[in-house]
Amino acid sequence: MLHAALYGDEDQAVILTYAWDRLLVDPVPGPRGPDNFAGLEQLTPMVWTVPADARPIAPAGSTLPRLAAELPHTFALLDPHHGEEGVTRQLEELVSHLSPESIDLLDVGGDILARGDEPTLKSPLADALTLAACCQVNASVRLLVAGPGLDGELPLDDVRGMLGPLIHTFTAKDVESVSSVLEWHPSEATGMLAATACGVRGTCEVRDAGLPVPLTDEGPTVHQVDLDEALSRNELARAVLTTESLDEVEAYSREICGYSEIDYERNKAAWLSQQSPSRLDSDAILTELDRFEVEARNRGITHTTFRHITEVLNLSGSQLDSIRRLLLGIKPEQHEAPLWKIRRY
């Protein structure tokens, strides 16, 4: 969506991204590496692309092959298992191989600008590691923050002071090319970005913790941020410079932030393994959904995501598409794509 807005549709992008879909899609904690896939294609010695016919090796899960099938770009696997030095080598190999016209580091929400001690910060590791590597690579990298505040981690007021020039404001027209993907992809931050681009305003409840995220006029904006300033602010990113393993990065996260998000996933995965998902009974689902909507409305919530509904109803990730189809078939008027509008009582 950003590539089309900034560069047009003629030249396609190589999107280097983590295979880290969280437990709703991937029951294995942490990010996936090349060994977790079958059918990858080697682009450089350390970079593998994810074609449409690639598959995660069970029990791992990943949305990347389906994204590769539905979008025109090349997806390459960002592998964090060799720390900052490994990510930097991947970037340097890509730059040497592709000779790109531009390199953009894109973060939705702005938690890449965190210091590390913010009480609302939940997932700093991936952002800090990527920021550190981009500051080390021998190439010009532009840092862009889309949808400031939309990841539910740093409030907009905490991010606003770091934002530089406005690069673009997404519109409903920008969303058209990815609207079909957002109907199934569970990314809440990107879903809210698209919704605000289409004019949705209010407060959206997300994640398993039920975080309230304001949907404002700032939601569809994209700002440039000074890369060096971001590094000087991000204590975890500075700490992981020269790390050679993901274990080292995790250790620094525990030391600086007080936790590792992968530890959180390990604990949640262990808990989920002992739970029995609810049966997809439409009457019971609607009763529980009505109860949730009443309580959410009383909290000032106007929208939520299908991912959050799935977790509220104690359903498994494999049931996400089923619950979406069920609700859209029964209450289509509450679908403000790709979000679910909380009914007024």
SS (H, E, C) 109-145: CCHHHCCCCCCCCCCCHHHHHHHHHHHHCCCCCEEEE
- Count of beta carbons in the 10 Å neighbourhood of residue 299: 11
Same domain, 92 and 213: no
Q: Among 20, 65, 68, 74, which Cα is nearest to 47's?
A: 74
Q: Is residue 254 part of a domain?
A: no
Range of the domain at 311: 202-217+276-345
258 dihedral zone (left: phi>0; alpha: psi -120 to 50; beta)? left
CATH code for the domain in which residue 291 is found: 1.10.10
164-222 pLDDT per residue, tens: 999 999 999 999 999 999 999 999 999 999 999 999 999 999 988 889 999 999 999 99
What is the mean pLDDT of the segment spanning 33-60? 98
Same domain, 41 and 88: yes
Same domain, 281 and 231: no
Q: Is residue 233 part of a domain?
A: yes
Same domain, 209 and 227: no
Same domain, 343 and 224: no
241-299 pLDDT per residue, tens: 999 999 999 999 999 999 999 999 999 999 888 887 777 888 988 999 999 999 999 99
Share of the chain above pLDDT 90, in %: 88
Same domain, 326 and 341: yes
pTM of the model: 0.95
Q: Is residue 303 part of a domain?
A: yes
Same domain, 166 and 207: no
Q: Walk across the sheet containing 41-44 and list its strands.
A: 14-17, 74-77, 47-49, 41-44
Q: Is residue 316 part of a domain?
A: yes
Q: Among 27, 50, 31, 7, which Cα is nearest to 130's?
A: 31
Strands 303-304 and 202-206: parallel
Same domain, 148 and 296: no
Number of domains in the chain: 2
Same domain, 108 and 165: yes
Q: Among 332, 344, 322, 316, which Cα is nearest to 184's?
A: 322
User: Which amino acid, 124?
Assistant: P
